[in-house]
Amino acid sequence: MKAQFIFKHLDHSDALQDYCQNRLDEVSKFLLKDYSGHVTFSKRLKEFCVELTVLTKQKPFRSKSHHYDIYSAVDEAILKLEKQLLRMRKKVTHHKAPSLEKSRRWAPKKEEAA
């Protein structure tokens, strides 16, 4: 997945960018179609904040995490994103066609011959 990385109130770090890119590549197997991503790293006082946004055709996925260690914040945000993607993938792959479901539900019952 190609992602844009934004650093607010932090120095740019190639190691952090590579780490986050590798973690996003692992999660990208759950995505269904075309997608793009934005990752924002910021710092407030002593706490790091990581915001992930993945834009797909179905809907946008967002996750946000705060932690004192920036790598732990990345891991927490990735886990939240992974849960969202798994939930959406499950809905899409296990969805039944509405026409079949209605035909079974509203089909006339066979009358028993008495």
Global confidence as pTM = 0.76
Identity of residue 69: D
| pLDDT value for 93 | 76
Both tokens of residue 68?
């004192």
Phi, psi of 98 (to 5 degrees): -65, -30
Domains and CATH numbers, the chain: 3-103 (3.30.160.100)
| Cβ neighbour number for residue 41 with a 10 Å cutoff | 22
- Cα separation, 35 vs 83, in Å, equals 17
Model confidence over 30-56: pLDDT tens digits?
775 677 889 999 999 899 999 999 888
Give the confidence band of 25 by pLDDT, cuts at 50, 70, 90: confident
Model confidence over 55-72: pLDDT tens digits?
888 789 999 999 999 999
